[in-house]
Amino acid sequence: MNIYVSNLSVIVNAQDLTKHFSQYGAVASANVITDKFTNQSRGFAFVDMPDDNEARKAIAELNGTQLDGRSIVVNEARPKKERY
């Protein structure tokens, strides 16, 4: 399951997210979205967890928790809409 994580501090990286989410199960990947010009974090990321039950537990328990001093928002990622 693909998980959307927002309200991240700009210093949070993929390794931090992997460590944070791996308490709930296997993490296939973690991708912090960066600005293509400045290469600085845009404050959100996607975490992919192969087991849906583990992912749902992570979403339920991590939403609203603190990560690096910020209260993170964790939801199931919605499919990307096509742009015309």
Looking at residue 79, its pLDDT comes to: 82
pLDDT at 83: 65
15 lies in some domain = yes
Q: Is 5 within 8 Å of 17 (Cβ atoms)?
A: yes
Has residue 83 been placed in a domain?
Answer: no
Contact 75, 63 (CB under 8 A): yes
Q: Examine residue 58 and state whether it is found in any structural domain, yes or no.
A: yes
Say which CATH number the domain at 62 has. 3.30.70.330
Q: pLDDT tens string for the chain (84 positions)?
A: 999 999 999 999 999 999 999 999 999 999 999 999 999 999 999 999 999 999 999 999 999 999 999 999 999 998 877 766
- CA pair distance 29, 57, nearest whole angstrom: 17
Q: How many domains does the chain have?
A: 1
With respect to residue 81, please indicate whether it lies within any of the assigned structural domains.
Answer: no
Note down the domain range covering 19.
2-76
Question: Could you tell me if residue 66 is inside a domain?
Answer: yes
